[in-house]
Amino acid sequence: MLKQKKEQMIDELTNNLSRCTIAVATDYRGLTAKEMVQLRRRLTALGIEYRVIKNTLTRFAAEKAGKKQLEPLLSGPVAIAFGYDDVVKPAQALREHIRAAGSVLQIKGGIMGDKLLTPADIANLATMPPREVLIARLMGQLQAPLQALHNVLSAPLQGFLNVMQARVKQLEGG
């Protein structure tokens, strides 16, 4: 490769590493070209960039971006999935592809912020519910004490109202 082209690729990778919320490194050995195309299409539809990159170029880019934690994952053939919004999406998409296609793709680990993630960490992320569900659960938990307070405070009034309605029926009927 020409030096200028390599520098351009390093700059692109540095930009990707700087912008991404999570980067998941995978070992793609054993995937057919057809499986790789299917995986890329699936990930691209979710807004995840999946690239096969030379390890030396990735090392230079990681150093430039301040993500040296990625270096231990750069051995053998490596492809990286860059997630730019929800950190759970890339992990779930890769796990789903492995499960659905019976793929030989292996997750080597990843980085989220400045933290190095193990394959077990990525698996845990993949089992998390989507962000919207977590927010809904949090809102439910925040509302629960208020709802309980409302029920406690309105119970005497509701009881009094029930007694009065029963007395009105009794007087009307008798």
Of the candidate ranges 3-7, 50-54, 80-84, 101-105, the one whose mean pLDDT is the lowest: 101-105
Q: Which token pair is 16?
A: 């990707």
Residue closest to 31 by CA, chosen among 41, 42, 39, 23: 39
Same domain, 36 and 85: yes
The predicted pLDDT at position 82 comes to 92
Using the predicted structure, report yes or no on whether residue 101 has a pLDDT greater than 80. Answer: no
Same domain, 122 and 137: no
Domain that holds residue 138: 129-174
Q: Which token pair is 144?
A: 């629960």
The predicted pLDDT at position 1 comes to 59
pLDDT class of 105 with cuts at 50, 70, 90: confident
Same domain, 87 and 21: yes
Same domain, 64 and 42: yes
Structural domain total, the chain: 2
Same domain, 112 and 153: no
The predicted pLDDT at position 153 comes to 86
